[in-house]
Structure 1
Amino acid sequence: MRTSTRIAGVLTGLALALGGAALTAPAAHADIASCVNQVERELRGGAAQDSVHMACYVGLTGNHDQCVSDLTRAGVTEDTATSACRVAPQ
């Protein structure tokens, strides 16, 4: 096999692998960000704690009840926790 053909094949495979990762990664990040943004709106400009990020991750996995419980334990109102956890898995 010629070197130029081999290099082209490797570059094509690399581009496909990186392209697939780029398409799937932002969606998960955006879902967690939507949840965290809901909480930060309640905080009126304050930064969310790590516990909020973890609770939103739990919501991303589909465990809505645990997400709400974790956010309320972190000091978020129940209404905000419910709406934030609702947007996490979308």
Structure 2
Amino acid sequence: MRTSTRIAGVLTGLTLALGGAALTAPAAHADVTACIDQVERELRGGEAPEYVRTACWTGHSGDHGGCVTALTKGGGVTNGTATTACKVAP
């Protein structure tokens, strides 16, 4: 195989790999945003407090129980809303 062909193949593979990673990243963030939006709808007070963001990131990392506990103990989020919000986080 010629060197130029080999280099072209490596660059194509690298481009596809990096492009796939870039397309995956926004989806992960959207899940956390959906969690925060769910809580903001209940609170109706504008932007969610920091404890909501932290709880949603906890849920995104896979700790559903920790997410629900953080939201309900943080102040003012009902168990139903916390459960629903944490389900959309991961």
Q: TM-score, normalised by structure 2?
A: 0.77
For residue 86 of structure 1, what is the amino acid of its counterpart? K
**Gaps spanning 5+ residues in structure 1: where?**
none
Equivalent in the alignment of 2:15 = 15
Deviation at 1:38, TM superposition (A): 0.3
* Count of aligned positions: 87
Rounded to whole Å, the distance in 2 between the matches of 1:60 and 1:46 is 22
Cα displacement string for residues 13-72 of structure 1 (whole angstroms, at most 9, x for unaligned residues): 553243122121011101101100100101225101222111111111221111000011
Partner of 1:50: 50
Gaps in structure 2 of 5+ consecutive residues: none
TM-score norm. by structure 1 comes to 0.77
Equivalent residue for 2:79? 78
- Cα 1:80–1:14 change in 2 (3 A) is same
Identical amino acids, percent of aligned pairs:
64
Rounded Cα–Cα distance in structure 2 between residues aligned with 1:84 and 1:64: 10
How far apart are the structure 2 equivalents of 1:51 and 1:38? 14
Distance 1:25 1:68 in 2: 24
How far apart in 1 are the matches of 2:50 and 2:11?
A: 38
Worse-superposed segment, 18-27 or 35-44: 18-27
- Structure 1 moving runs of 4+ over 4 Å: 8-11
